[in-house]
């Protein structure tokens, strides 16, 4: 046994996790669970100068995402939302998640759970990273919490979360529980797997939680990987060691775990408010020392313990034992010295309680446990695979150094602009409304400026090209006149005229062009509309427009003319695009044309026009 355990005297690298806020919480007046006990333990650790011998760390708070690696989303969401103020509104969920008398709703409940779970998770990561040989989190050890409900003063099972971290690097993990209550939450979590072997020494028979019989060995793949050693009242040091050491040694030699988690519930000590064992402080600590001797990565957590002065003594003594330090029996001065009177000693002695565990009973239980262990294979193997990714929630964890401040300019570089990302299919190809409108206005203004510029260039080209049409062929001259006629009509429409015309009659305009000797006239109709107010292009310099009051009486000719012109509009539009290209080429060839005779445009007064109602301002025709 000594050879297997090793019992190395070398110093271990020990990490100690403590959050100074853990002692601020209370389950309520009269409740046996006192988080204040962790503050008393830490105060003794500091005053014994043990903090100088180990690495003292403040753990990160566990996030809801980390908790849901084991617990259900609904349960964790309930713990996040429930408070003493809204507990009545969530009365239906209280029954569902088993919160009430044993597991009350108190102020800061979820924060307390994050501290407990975060310490055990960080301690496990310290071991898997090879940075420590032993990691201690006395705030953990809440082994009763189930996947979907609270139980036995426990809300979040930090032990299960820590073992899940260890399983990422170790093929097999051994969990040992020396709390007086059965570790039902941890056993239930790994009841069907062979990668975790749970071993619990506890009081059984009409005692909470009522589970942990010797016949409870697991199911499926996890059959025979749940070891339960039920005990009776009055268990003393000698008998406890007589069953603890051989069972644990047999498991170590046959199961070959890669890491060990030891739950050190102090309610198995003599004189505990809720316990019925008769273990002394040194008898309890002997279990810790024995497990330490196997030289495996070891996670030590707290658990039960309801006589808080004895809890502080035991866990302080076991911290020194894990460090290999001998502690004085006389307590040093500390902030809670009055709790340890009248003896003020670092000791929890056994009493004269009768031991109900007979030698025959213990021998029978030991034989049954060994028989179950014979059914498991030697060191069950695990298929080789890549180590799972060690992720942390970037949305919920702040990894920034609080001592380094980031400027606003640096923060702005981390923000993605709203128009940087493309539309997703989930949004139905809808654009951001603001960007869409602003881009539309900008695009319209750009198109308008480009259209005005092109229009002005085309107007100038038309006036120049009209002077060259007389020397062209007959077809070319006819098409040119049609094109010029169309552009001049558009110029008239772009003048600063505000008019109101009847919807019945449509006026016609006669355009007279006299580039040199020949003069050609053509007629076109102005579309009727409620208002025309556009700016005249300044490039048309040699044109005159005269408006005459129309004669409204004769409408027959106007209607006939309108029908004739409408029939020709489609032909004119088809030739416009070709004429623009041809006119640009002809403009280049006729640069030496010296004919600058003006082009006149008049309204044919013989045609009937609708009455034009003028605004107070006169029509201004820009030259």
Predicted pLDDT at 87: 87
Judge residue 129's burial from the number of C-beta atoms within 10 Å of its C-beta, 0-12 exposed, 13-18 middle, 19 or more buried.
exposed
Inter-axis angle of helices 359-373 and 237-255, to 10 degrees? 10
Q: Which residues pair with 135 in a beta bridge?
A: 15, 299
| SS3 call for 94 | helix
**Which residue in 42, 71, 143, 144 is the catalytic one?**
144
Asked if 318 and 305 touch (Cβ cutoff 8 Å), the reply is no
Residue closest to 304 by CA, chosen among 369, 175, 209, 440: 209
Asked if 257 and 172 touch (Cβ cutoff 8 Å), the reply is yes
Asked if 464 and 590 touch (Cβ cutoff 8 Å), the reply is yes
Residue closest to 480 by CA, chosen among 331, 620, 376, 587: 587
- Is the residue at 149 inside a domain? yes
DSSP 184-197: HHHHHHTTT-SSEE
Judge residue 527's burial from the number of C-beta atoms within 10 Å of its C-beta, 0-12 exposed, 13-18 middle, 19 or more buried.
exposed
Residue closest to 67 by CA, chosen among 138, 154, 130: 154
Residues at the binding site for substrate are: 102, 152, 306
User: What's the sign of the alpha-carbon dihedral 530, 534, 539, 542?
Assistant: positive
How far apart, in Å, are the Cα atoms of 588 and each of 133, 438, 538?
92, 41, 22
Asked if 218 and 191 touch (Cβ cutoff 8 Å), the reply is yes
- Is the residue at 446 inside a domain? no
Q: pLDDT digits over 177-188, tens only?
A: 999 999 999 999
- Is the residue at 397 inside a domain? no
Predicted pLDDT at 403: 61
How far apart, in Å, are the Cα atoms of 396 and each of 63, 110, 533?
7, 15, 60
- Whether residue 584 is preceded by a cis peptide bond, meaning omega within 30 degrees of 0, is no
* Tokens 């292009």 belong to residue: 537
* 3-state helix, strand and coil shares in percent for the chain, rounded to the nearest 5: 40, 10, 50
144 is a catalytic site residue: yes
Residue closest to 66 by CA, chosen among 189, 158, 168: 158
DSSP state of 279: B
DSSP 560-577: HHHHHHHHHHHHHHHHHH
Residues in the chain: 623
Q: Mean pLDDT per 10-residue run, the chain (623 residues)? A: 48 93 94 96 96 94 95 96 90 89 93 97 95 97 96 97 95 96 96 96 94 94 95 96 96 95 97 95 97 97 96 97 95 95 94 95 96 87 65 48 63 58 45 46 50 52 46 50 58 47 44 41 41 41 42 45 47 53 52 45 46 48 45
Predicted pLDDT at 575: 54
- Is the residue at 610 inside a domain? no
Instruction: Determine the Cα–Cα distance for residues 167 and 37; give it in Å rounded to an integer.
Output: 30
Instruction: Determine the Cα–Cα distance for residues 238 and 155; give it in Å rounded to an integer.
Output: 34
Inter-axis angle of helices 308-323 and 281-292, to 10 degrees? 30
Predicted pLDDT at 91: 83
Instruction: Determine the Cα–Cα distance for residues 263 and 138; give it in Å rounded to an integer.
Output: 9
Q: pLDDT digits over 606-622, tens only?
A: 444 455 445 444 444 44
Asked if 261 and 159 touch (Cβ cutoff 8 Å), the reply is yes
Burial 284-309 (b: 16+ CB within 10 A, else e): bbbbbebbbbbebbbbbbbbbbbbbb
Q: Which residues pair with 531 in a beta bridge?
A: none
Instruction: Determine the Cα–Cα distance for residues 203 and 529; give it in Å rounded to an integer.
Output: 99
- Structure token digits, residue 245: 């050491």
- Is the residue at 202 inside a domain? yes
Instruction: Determine the Cα–Cα distance for residues 205 and 195; give it in Å rounded to an integer.
Output: 29
DSSP state of 284: H
| SS3 call for 56 | strand
Instruction: Determine the Cα–Cα distance for residues 283 and 432; give it in Å rounded to an integer.
Output: 71
Predicted pLDDT at 583: 54
Residue closest to 141 by CA, chosen among 125, 127, 161: 161
- Structure token digits, residue 123: 């301690």
The structural domain count of the chain equals 1
Query: Which domain, by its residues, includes 220?
Result: 14-61+110-375
* Tokens 């070709």 belong to residue: 578
- Is the residue at 139 inside a domain? yes
Q: What's the CATH code of the domain at 123?
A: 3.40.800.20
- Is the residue at 467 inside a domain? no
Instruction: Determine the Cα–Cα distance for residues 73 and 194; give it in Å rounded to an integer.
Output: 26
Predicted pLDDT at 550: 43
444: CB partners within 8 A, 6+ apart:
none
Neighbours of 314 (CB within 10 A): 29
Instruction: Determine the Cα–Cα distance for residues 318 and 518; give it in Å rounded to an integer.
Output: 120
């Amino acid at each position: 046994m000594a050879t297997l355990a090793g019992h190395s005297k070398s110093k271990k690298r020990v990490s100690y996790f403590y959050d100074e806020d853990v002692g601020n919480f209370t389950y309520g007046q009269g409740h046996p669970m006192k988080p204040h006990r962790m503050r008393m333990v830490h105060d003794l650790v500091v005053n014994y100068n043990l903090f100088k011998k180990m690495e003292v760390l403040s753990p990160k708070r566990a996030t809801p995402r980390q908790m849901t690696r084991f617990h259900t989303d609904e349960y964790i969401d309930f713990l996040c939302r429930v408070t003493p103020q809204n507990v009545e509104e969530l009365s239906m969920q209280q029954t569902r998640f088993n919160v009430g008398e044993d597991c009350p709703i108190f102020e800061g409940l979820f924060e307390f759970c994050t501290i407990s779970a975060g310490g055990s998770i960080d301690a496990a990561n310290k071991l898997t990273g090879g940075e420590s040989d032993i990691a201690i989190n006395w705030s953990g050890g809440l082994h009763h919490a189930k996947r979907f409900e609270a139980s036995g003063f426990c809300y979040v099972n930090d032990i299960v979360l820590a073992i899940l971290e260890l399983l990422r690097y170790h093929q097999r993990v051994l969990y040992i529980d020396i709390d007086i209550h059965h570790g039902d939450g941890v056993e239930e979590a790994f009841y069907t797997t062979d990668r975790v072997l749970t071993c619990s020494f506890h009081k059984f028979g009409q005692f909470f939680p009522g589970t942990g019989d010797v016949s409870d060995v697991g199911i499926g793949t996890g059959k025979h990987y749940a070891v339960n050693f039920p005990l009776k009242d009055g268990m003393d040091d000698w008998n406890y060691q007589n069953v603890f050491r051989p069972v644990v040694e047999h498991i170590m030699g046959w199961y070959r775990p890669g890491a060990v988690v030891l739950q050190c519930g102090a309610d198995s000590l003599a004189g505990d408010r809720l316990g019925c064992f008769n273990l002394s402080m040194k008898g309890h600590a002997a279990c810790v020392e024995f497990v330490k001797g196997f030289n495996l990565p070891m996670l030590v957590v707290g658990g039960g313990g309801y006589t808080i002065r004895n809890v502080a003594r035991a866990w302080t003594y076991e911290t020194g034992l894990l460090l290999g330090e001998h502690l004085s029996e006389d307590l040093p001065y500390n902030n809670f010295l009055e709790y340890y009177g009248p003896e003020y000693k670092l000791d929890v002695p056994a009493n004269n309680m009768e031991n109900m565990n007979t030698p025959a009973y213990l021998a029978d239980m030991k034989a049954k446990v060994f028989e179950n262990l014979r059914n498991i294979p030697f060191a069950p193997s695990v298929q080789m695979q890549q180590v799972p990714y060690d992720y942390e929630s970037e949305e919920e964890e702040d990894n920034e150094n609080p001592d380094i401040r980031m400027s606003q300019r640096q923060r702005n570089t981390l923000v993605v602009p709203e128009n940087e990302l493309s539309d997703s299919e989930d949004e139905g190809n809808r654009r951001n409304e603001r960007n869409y409108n602003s881009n539309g206005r900008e695009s319209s203004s750009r198109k308008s400026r480009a259209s005005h510029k092109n229009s002005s260039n085309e107007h100038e080209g038309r006036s120049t090209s009209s002077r060259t049409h007389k020397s062209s062929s007959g077809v070319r001259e006819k098409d040119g006149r049609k094109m010029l006629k169309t552009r001049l009509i558009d110029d008239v429409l772009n003048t600063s005229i505000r008019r109101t015309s009847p919807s019945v009659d449509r006026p016609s305009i006669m355009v007279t062009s006299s580039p040199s000797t020949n003069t050609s006239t053509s007629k076109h109709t102005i579309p009727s509309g409620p208002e025309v107010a556009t700016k005249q292009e300044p490039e048309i310099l040699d044109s005159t427009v005269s408006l005459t009051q129309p004669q409204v009486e004769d409408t027959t000719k106007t209607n006939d003319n309108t029908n004739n012109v409408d029939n020709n509009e489609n032909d004119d539009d088809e030739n416009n695009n070709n004429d623009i290209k041809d006119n640009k080429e002809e403009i280049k060839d006729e640069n030496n044309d010296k004919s600058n005779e003006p082009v006149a445009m008049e309204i044919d007064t013989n045609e009937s026009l609708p009455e034009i109602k003028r605004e107070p301002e006169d029509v201004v025709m820009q030259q």
